[in-house]
Chain A
């Protein structure tokens, strides 16, 4: 036998993970710890996993005019990502989208994501509530959306594993008592709950125990302010893990720095002391069997023709500012797409894979958010502590779900920053500076009067954030259009998005609840919705007009199901059509409840890691040379 021509060696791994965000980092951690050789390909840069890189991001955020979620993170033409500022409202309603996402839906998809090592969870708020058991079977119980092929009980042990990995601070007894979440007897979170804000206490004193009807003929709901679990360092629980306690993680690059949350009030866009969990903390504990390659934009999943996948093709660039790149491939026994809901769907569509059900890219969801805002009758202590430390959980489930989307109410600790751009908007207004420089300006206040007015006005601000469950609808979707490509020639995602009447009825109900909350609080309600530049999500419903924002919770683009006929991945997040291709993350969720989804995504991912390990073990087991049965 003669040797053929020399072929360049293609590196071969046990697993290729696409994306170094929350889900991908957990997969690499779990499989690397088991000794599997893992290659993680990250489209963005890895400047954030060093202390100087972190400080640079912080400076960038401080210098940004709008402290939006992506403000600290450098634009990257080689791996572009969307920004909430890409959307502009039109004077009479409607919107324009100018960024990475092409949008053609009736309403705008208002959320962003981040392509960089650490992913979108670099700028998440860090809230880590569990989903309610009812959230897993909304179709069966309430007649809308889609059901999960698993139940809360199937995920419960993995919720605990995720709470350990993320270092969640919370009060299990309070969650059980107030929300009805099942925990095993005696369970405590790794850390004690984050103290509630002064605002929470004021609201609790005025609302706890009050019974309210969202409509005159609706049943009564009892209000209660409940502390929210956070993936943020507080005081470790010495009784955690059968008395072994919990050791919080410090900052990446400066492990002894930070540790406890010191109240920077900047969780979004970046925690200066890294008291908040980010995937970079998991990456810092990866085994030597994990290799991270950044600047590697995966463009296609490669197949063998027998349904199995071979690996991926990716575009490697050196300089984010230059279009120069080289095409490479990486091969592995298992490919795990963990690139965020929109990017996962984009990759499957570009590869022509996993779509026998026709559901790839469909069922795009978010948590549409309605903001209401007002002034307390005395200082509220705004812009202090984490963005939200408590909420009202009583509208998350119950029979009303049949008629309208359920919602979670976050008490917003950061004044009117989200609804009105406070305090800079307040400074401009009092100075007489209008948003439109062509309009005549007001006379304006100066000196001691300006100082006093600002203190009196900004100091009493608070807001409510109503986050709605969005039902899975196949018309809400991600597609790709080869006519619109990014710098590396990869087609950009096209989003088609709208809100169902079920969601719109939820929004109207929440506004009715908000009106009552402001009355009960004796607070001045300043909520108003008008079309215009800063209101791309303005719409009319019934007699009312509303405006919604995106929560940054993209989900549902490769939904999980019990049948390959109507879902993309199986209950292990494994593509029905491809036994060695997984698509993990919020994209797998068939419904999203009202909980911030990252903890559930982490739990789901950790559960899938067990299946991936079994798959890999099967593949590496020596072939069994058995005689056919019945032969001696």
Chain B
């Protein structure tokens, strides 16, 4: 490999590191959604750079454990970013945090994009797929999901 060949830096590395801690999913999975940039930008746009900076400082002070956050503003930002990753939806902030941030946008929940919904991580937590996308195929719903026993066959029904 040519040592002079520049390796592009990964996109938004700090945001991904924080997101790994918030979601419990690894970097590979998070980047695989294709939504790192959009979620980073959405977060900055929603709460502002200053609040994001304070949130990062607070998280570092908590040893990188989001459960150790004590400031309610930083904690609500942690909730919001996690909610975003799990559902593709930026949530309503708590009313007091919304006020504390002096936000001039309406405090309403919204799906960031149609793709954000289909890339929601929540479906993966129980080996599901987002309804309306990534369909697993005819008859797959008859099979036991991972971790479930095969049903006892009483009637000889469920053949397919």
- A interface, CB within 8 angstroms of B: 58-65, 67, 195-198, 200-202, 204-205, 208-209, 227, 234, 260-266, 270, 272-273, 378-386, 389, 413-414, 423-424, 426-428, 431-433, 437-438, 440-441, 443-452, 454-455, 458-459
Contact = CB atoms under 8 A, between A and B. Distances in A.
A106 B91 CA distance: 34
14 contacts: A60-B114, A63-B111, A65-B109, A65-B110, A202-B151, A270-B132, A272-B132, A383-B129, A385-B140, A386-B141, A427-B83, A428-B91, A440-B94, A454-B86
Interface of B: 21-25, 65-67, 72, 75-76, 78-79, 82-83, 86-87, 89, 91-95, 98, 107, 109-111, 113-115, 117-118, 121-123, 125-129, 131-133, 135-149, 151-155, 157-158, 160
B135 A423 contact: no
A205 B152 contact: yes
Contacts of B91: 428, 433
A368 to B, nearest CB: 25
Contacts of A380: 145, 148
Q: Which 4 A-B pairs have the closest CB atoms?
A: A385-B141, A459-B126, A266-B132, A62-B114
Q: Which applies to chain B's interface (DSSP): helix, strand, loop or mixed?
A: loop
A452 B122 CA distance: 10
A623 B93 CA distance: 76
A270 B135 CA distance: 13
B135 A446 contact: no
A452 B25 CA distance: 11
A263 B55 CA distance: 41
B122 A423 contact: yes
B128 A201 contact: no
Contacts of A262: 135-138
Given A424-B89, A432-B79, A459-B127, A201 B142 contact: yes
Residue from A208, A443, A459 having most chain B Cβ neighbours under 10 A: A459
B92 to A, nearest CB: 5
A198 to B, nearest CB: 5
Nearest to B64: A447
B131 A201 contact: no
Contacts of A449: 24
A201 B146 contact: no
Given A378-B149, A441-B79, A444-B79, 12 more contacts: A62-B115, A197-B141, A198-B142, A205-B154, A260-B138, A379-B144, A381-B141, A381-B148, A433-B92, A437-B95, A446-B21, A449-B24
Contact of B24 (A273, A423, A450): A450
Residue from A201, A426, A446 having most chain B Cβ neighbours under 10 A: A446
A63 B113 contact: yes
Contacts of B133: 62, 264, 272
B123 A383 contact: yes
A204 B154 CA distance: 8
A385 B128 CA distance: 11
A455 B86 CA distance: 12
Contact of B160 (A195, A423, A452): A195
A265 B113 CA distance: 20
Contacts of A385: 140-142
A64 B109 CA distance: 10
A64 B136 CA distance: 22
A64 B83 contact: no
Nearest to B152: A205
Contact of A195 (B21, B76, B142, B155): B142
A437 B139 contact: no
A454 B125 CA distance: 6
A209 B122 CA distance: 37
Contact of A447 (B66, B98, B137): B66
Contacts of A428: 83, 91
A419 B47 CA distance: 32
A446 B154 contact: no
Given A379-B146, A446-B22, A384 B136 contact: yes
A576 B79 CA distance: 62
A628 B141 CA distance: 72
B145 A263 contact: no
Nearest to A436: B95
Given A63-B114, A205-B151, A427-B122, A413 B138 contact: no
Nearest to A272: B132
B42 to A, nearest CB: 14
Given A197-B141, A384-B128, A443 B67 contact: yes
B87 A427 contact: yes
Given A196-B158, A446-B24, A263 B125 contact: no
Contacts of A58: 114, 132
Contact of B126 (A63, A260, A379, A450): A379
Contact of B131 (A234, A266, A381, A450): A266
A454 B160 CA distance: 31
Contacts of A273: 135
B155 A459 contact: no
A265 B149 CA distance: 22
Contacts of A61: 132
Contact of A424 (B65, B66, B87, B129): B87
B160 to A, nearest CB: 4
B125 A379 contact: no
A97 to B, nearest CB: 22
A285 B156 CA distance: 39
Residue from A427, A438, A458 having most chain B Cβ neighbours under 10 A: A427
A414 B128 CA distance: 11
